[in-house]
């Protein structure tokens, strides 16, 4: 009996309605997205389930403390000897060890955080647009199903399938919006906020190191040039 009921339920799923609502919503979200954001939005599904911002933040601050220790003992130009956790911090350490001035490193840090924020906002906006457009596409498909149903009022046997298709369209739009795309957008936004917080904190520490060492070195060079007329 369960198999028969399941088969009947699957018979209510209209492939054309499914394609109209799903691909119509994806089309709207893709049109509103910038170049590259559609692909990035689906790539972001991997960290959606695997990301652990608390562990990332702890690992980053441990690495920053090791960098501070080696900078105090030797120089920030030796910072790249530290095995930093994650590609972001490794890139930051590489820029820190090669920095010619504290302002150069601070500028890189600011530009990097802004660029990452823009990428994340684009991905979040894609899933948010998908969540917003799915109910509308479902309602359009529902209206089309109702029109088809009303056109067969003279034959009661032909009323059932269009009505089922119309209700399925509304259900599908609600599922995409509230069960799939909406939660994904909310989760990605939360991950972005958490990631932005620990990355900003880490870069603030590294920028302070750069100011302490590089500005002192620059001041010493200026005094030497003034003293010896170089």
Two structure tokens written together for 73: 């003992």
Mean pLDDT of 48-70: 84
**Domain enclosing residue 150, as ranges:** 16-213
Query: Is 7 a member of any domain?
Result: no
Query: Is 136 a member of any domain?
Result: yes
At 220 the pLDDT is 37
At 196 the pLDDT is 93
Share of the chain above pLDDT 70, in %: 81
Alpha-helical runs (H) found in the chain: 2-11, 15-32, 37-43, 45-50, 53-73, 86-98, 102-150, 160-175, 182-228
The whole model's pTM is what? 0.80
pLDDT at residue 1 tops 50: no
Q: Collapse the DSSP code of 52 into the 3-class scheme (helix H, G, I; strand E, B; otherwise coil) and give the result.
A: coil
pLDDT at residue 229 tops 60: no
**Count of domains forming the chain:** 1
Confidence of residue 81 (pLDDT cuts 50, 70, 90): low
């Amino acid at each position: 009996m369960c198999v028969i009921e399941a088969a009947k339920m699957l018979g209510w799923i209209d492939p054309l309605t499914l394609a109209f609502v799903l691909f119509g919503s994806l089309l709207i979200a893709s049109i509103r997205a910038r170049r590259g954001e559609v692909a990035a939005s689906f790539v972001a599904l991997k960290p959606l389930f695997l990301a652990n911002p608390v562990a990332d933040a702890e690992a980053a601050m441990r690495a920053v403390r090791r960098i501070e220790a080696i900078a105090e003992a030797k120089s920030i130009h030796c910072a790249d000897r530290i095995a930093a956790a994650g590609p972001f911090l490794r890139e930051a350490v590489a820029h820190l060890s090669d920095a010619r001035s504290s302002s150069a490193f601070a500028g890189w840090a600011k530009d990097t955080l802004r660029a990452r924020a823009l990428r994340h906002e684009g991905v979040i906006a894609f899933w948010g647009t998908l969540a917003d457009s799915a109910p509308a596409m479902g309602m359009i498909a529902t209206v089309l199903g109702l029109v088809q149903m009303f056109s067969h009022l003279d034959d009661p046997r032909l009323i059932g399938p269009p009505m089922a298709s119309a209700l399925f369209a509304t259900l599908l739009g609600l599922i995409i919006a509230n069960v799939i795309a909406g939660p994904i957008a909310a989760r990605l936004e939360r991950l972005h906020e958490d990631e932005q917080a620990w990355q900003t904190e880490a870069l603030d520490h590294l920028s302070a190191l750069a100011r302490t060492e590089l500005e002192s070195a620059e001041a010493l060079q200026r005094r030497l040039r003034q003293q010896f007329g170089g």
